[in-house]
Structure 1
Amino acid sequence: MITRKALTLADVQAIAAGAEAEAIKNDWKVSIAITDDGGHLLHFQRLDGAPTQSTYISQGKAKAAAFSRKPTKALEDIVGGGRNAFLSVPDMVLLEGGEPIIVDGVCIGGVGVSGVKSSDDAIIARAGIAKLGA
């Protein structure tokens, strides 16, 4: 048997609070999604004024980061580099703003943010993950 780490409710709440604080600090109106390593939604919040489509996009970014075990910017770059077949991967949003949650070299989940410029979405996601203390 393999023993592996997993996100607890307290972990998820810390990540969400850190991401929310970063968004509010910058007056960024976003949606924030957190998944486990299988891409299953553990937390979702849509800040006041966040675009409607950000609800779907943030969840897709979180799932993509968890599944791929890499930032979604890397996936966006794969497609941007001409590998259009990668667009056929189902249920994932291949835009910057999704970050994997890596602990001891293992991906235990993903954070996806949507609502502002993609590079700023990624800043929010990383700020949340930083609160995990991993």
Structure 2
Amino acid sequence: MLVTVSISSVARVCQLMVDQLMADEGQPVCLAAVDHNGSLIYFYRMDDAPERLINIAIGKAYTAARMGVSTAMFRDRLINENLSMADFLDEKFTSLPGGVPLFNQLQLIGAVGVSGRALEDDVLLCQQFAECIQMSL
């Protein structure tokens, strides 16, 4: 039986993340969650987050779900194997770090993406987002 990511648990975790992010007074971000196929199940855009971040956050989550690895690892693969994004024949892919897959045991159940801060910060926030969701399973 396929375990899925609960929209209500993602919403709760997302709100906790947003509360924390608002308290640190950093740049606003967008947070996205997708199912195991890469279909969007939840999205949050903080006030004043630039519109361009919408597709980036969703793309990060989508890529992590479709590839089953973080977008940072996907980026490393592109570099190490001298591949291009075009090799994967999917126009929705991105190699920007900040997308992390979600697993239940070894089963891919979805992914999350964060965009809006420096790439290193996006990665840390996304890992935190993913860990909190996985703890709620």
- Identical positions, percent: 24
Give the AA of the match of 1:35: V
Larger relative contact order (Cα-Cα within 8 Å, sequence gap ≥ 6): 1
RMSD value, Cα: 1.8
Question: What is the DSSP-based 3-state SS (H/G/I as helix, E as strand, rest coil) of the residue aligned with 1:128?
Answer: helix
Change beyond 3 A, Cα 1:127–1:25: farther
Give the AA of the match of 2:126: A
Give the aligned partner of residue 125 of structure 1: 126
1:20 positional shift: 2.2
Q: Is the 8 A contact 1:18 1:130 kept in 2?
A: no
Q: Which runs of 5+ in 2 are unaligned?
A: none
Give the aligned partner of residue 100 of structure 1: 101
Give the AA of the match of 2:130: I
Give the aligned partner of residue 65 of structure 1: 64
1:1-134 correspondence to structure 2 within 5 Å: 3-26=1-24, 27-81=26-80, 83-89=82-88, 90=90, 91-132=92-133, 133=135, 134=137
Residues 10-60 of structure 1: CA distance to partner in whole angstroms, max 9, x if unpaired?
222133224324433432311111000000001111112222211111000
**Cα separation, 1, equivalents of 2:19 and 2:124:** 12
**Cα separation, 1, equivalents of 2:81 and 2:23:** 37
Change beyond 3 A, Cα 1:65–1:40: same
Of 48-57 and 34-43, deviating more is: 48-57
Question: What is the DSSP-based 3-state SS (H/G/I as helix, E as strand, rest coil) of the residue aligned with 1:65?
Answer: helix
Give the AA of the match of 1:8: S
**Cα separation, 1, equivalents of 2:108 and 2:72:** 16
Number of residue pairs aligned between Structure 1 and Structure 2: 132
Q: Is the 8 A contact 2:58 2:113 kept in 1?
A: yes
Question: What is the DSSP-based 3-state SS (H/G/I as helix, E as strand, rest coil) of the residue aligned with 1:96?
Answer: coil
1:92 positional shift: 1.2
Change beyond 3 A, Cα 1:18–1:68: farther
